Amino acid sequence: MIEKNNNWPQFRVGCGYDVHKLAADRKLILCGVEIPYESGLLGHSDADVALHALMDALLGAAGLGDIGRHFPDTDMKFKDADSMLLLRQVVGLLQKHGWQINNADVTIMAQRPKLAPYIEQMAANIAREMRIERSAVNVKATTTEKLGFVGRGEGMASEAVVSIIRG
């Protein structure tokens, strides 16, 4: 049996990954920012690939499953859902379990469009919803040098790493 030392804070790390296909007649929304582009991400919700990876990282760090468990694509109440509102629910769930978010690092993989003009607003949106300092959130974008489905412009992917503390 493992003994728990209640005098020490608990520190955990989580990682998340998500992919969505690009499709015509959809808005492109990343970290709550609507980005002008010829297509958007296809999904049951708003398909915000970056926030989906972030939510999975948060839930994983806290040992609370994943977004499919909490927001299943079989439930119509999540059809076209705003992922910023879903992030707010995930943050509330972590707080309910005594967790405080320490920091987040999000990488968005997209060949096009160029995301640099939107990065600051993306990070500010995440910091606001997670109730942490802006300096504790990093968002970055990269291409895949025209390799794979991202490089061919078929979709986008995102990874996120977070740390949380309790105690």
Give the model's pLDDT for residue 79. 83
Q: What is the CATH number of domain 10-70+81-166?
A: 3.30.1330.50
Q: Write out the binding residues.
A: 18-20, 44-45, 52, 66-68, 71-75, 142-145, 149, 152
Please give the mean pLDDT across all residues of the chain: 94
Q: What is the pLDDT of residue 2?
A: 59
Confidence of residue 149 (pLDDT cuts 50, 70, 90): very high
Domain residues of the chain, as ranges? 10-70+81-166
pLDDT tens digits, residue range 80-130? Answer: 889 999 999 999 999 999 999 999 999 999 999 999 999 999 999 999 999
pLDDT for the residue 64: 97
CA–CA distance, 52 with 69 (Å, rounded to integer): 12
E strand segments, 26-88: 28-30, 33-35, 40-41
**Which residues participate in the annotated binding site for a divalent metal cation?**
18, 20, 52
pLDDT in tens, 32-85: 999 999 999 999 999 999 999 999 999 999 999 999 998 888 877 878 889 999
- How many Å apart are CA 61 and CA 138, to the nearest integer? 18
